[in-house]
Amino acid sequence: MPQIVFLGAGSVVFTRQLLADLFRFDDLPSLRIVLHDIDAERLEVARATAEQVAGRFGREAEIVATLDRREALTGADFAINMIQVGGIAATRVDLEIPAAAGLRQTIGDTTGVGGVFRALRTFPVLSGIAADMLDVCPDAWLLNYTNPMAMNVWWLSVVAPDLKVVGLCHSVYWTVHDLCDLIGVPMEGTHYRAAGVNHQAWLTEWSRDGEDLYPLLREAIARDPELERRVRVEIFKRIGFYPTETSEHSSEYLSWFLRSDAQIERFRLQPLEYIGISEENVAEFEHAKAALAAGEQLELEEGAAEYAPQIIHSMLTGTERTIHANVVNRGLIGNLPDGAVVEVPSTVDADGVHPLPFGDVPTQGAALNRTYLSVAELTIEAARTNDPERVRQAVLVDPNASSTLTPEEIWALCDRLTAAHAQYLPRALGGTL
């Protein structure tokens, strides 16, 4: 019986959707679903959720819930990672302390000062997961959803190079889905390819029946001046290829947008937006807990198209498909650094995930990607060498931070964040671990 482990299963809405996508496949064998979380209350809600979803789809599944990570991973075939170290409290710290210093972020989980500190508190837990997996399920695949995606997958390649790891994000799929809606073309039957780095890949091919769809997008933008007040449209105009992450998120990877009140107004941005999103997630958890206690059915989203269930289905049934995956660059993108983590089209079959060599991404896109990867590389080096100066240099390289704060202010901000996150950070970096 194939065993699928959910790490951070207390993210019950995401767990619910992944399970629904998985159980929609009617040609899978019976599965052993093992749920793990460090929060007993959330874990119990996850267990009840899994039992309800399996029952609604009429699937035979053994559902196990455990607070013991090593026990959960023993004998696993797949481990889906969606942990959030520190939860909403740490997210508030990542956003509010920089905001008080004058540095604005919208989401703060991928790059920049928020991404750097989220990575630093996640790396120790990832190292533990990797060590457990190499010991009790060395042949299993780790399917990572936890941000910062590029940093986390890169870190795992450093501490556990033999572990089979792939990073998964739905941003490419939903970018194409929403663009097709915008131009009035069905997504089904379109051909698309994107490459770059997670949350900053470039849609280099987008066509239907051999017809390039970019001209239709340009026409749609020309018809609606309000679209030019979107960050992604501005990036598209300047770079020539559409980026694969939301405008809110994309705004904080560059120096162009959050540096002034005028730009925030022009591009309709909402600093600290992720705090509200996180509060909504907490409310959704409470709603799910109450619904389960009342014996009510949980809402299931149709057509979520998450990649982890697709990968599991492909490996268990031999069904071939193509996804976009985050993997170590080993000659996949020629003008991005080898050893960094990049996002590229990949085929999946019974033998696993196979990244496809892409060649070069557009030069102007690669230039932005390399800055993003420099922040990631310095963060990896900081954790690998236990060098607190590298932490501050990573933030200094970030375009958003350096467009707003002086070097002295960045050093002081990192001191405050280190103190606030001390319980999650190694002693050598100023923490208490």
Q: Which two tokens stand for residue 105?
A: 């972020």
* φ and ψ of 428, to 5 deg: -65, -25
SS3 (DSSP) at 344: strand
106, 270 contact by CB (below 8 A): yes
Residue 216 one-letter amino acid: L
Q: Which of 39, 45, 52, 37 is nearest to 6 (CA)?
A: 37
For residue 410, the cross-strand partners are: none
Q: Which residues contact 395 (CB under 8 A, 6 or more apart)?
A: 112, 113, 116, 375, 401, 410, 413, 414
120, 127 contact by CB (below 8 A): no
Give the burial class of 282: count Cβ atoms within 10 A of its Cβ; 0-12 exposed, 13-18 middle, 19 or more buried: exposed
DSSP state of 38: S
List the catalytic residues.
Answer: 170
Q: Which two tokens stand for residue 301?
A: 């989203």
Q: Which of 40, 39, 34 is nearest to 19 (CA)?
A: 34
83, 146 contact by CB (below 8 A): yes
64, 93 contact by CB (below 8 A): no
Alpha-carbon distance 375 to 407, whole Å?
Answer: 15
Helices (H), 167-253: 171-183, 214-223, 231-239, 247-250
Alpha-carbon distance 408 to 399, whole Å?
Answer: 16
Q: Which helix (H) or strand (E) holds 385?
A: helix 363-385
Q: Which two tokens stand for residue 378?
A: 């310095």
Ordered DSSP codes for 278-315? HHHHHHHHHHHHHHHHTTPPPP--S----HHHHHHHHH
* CA distances to 370, 372, 397 from 377, in Å: 10, 9, 11
308, 348 contact by CB (below 8 A): no
Q: Where are the beta strands (DSSP E) in 131-183?
A: 141-144, 164-167
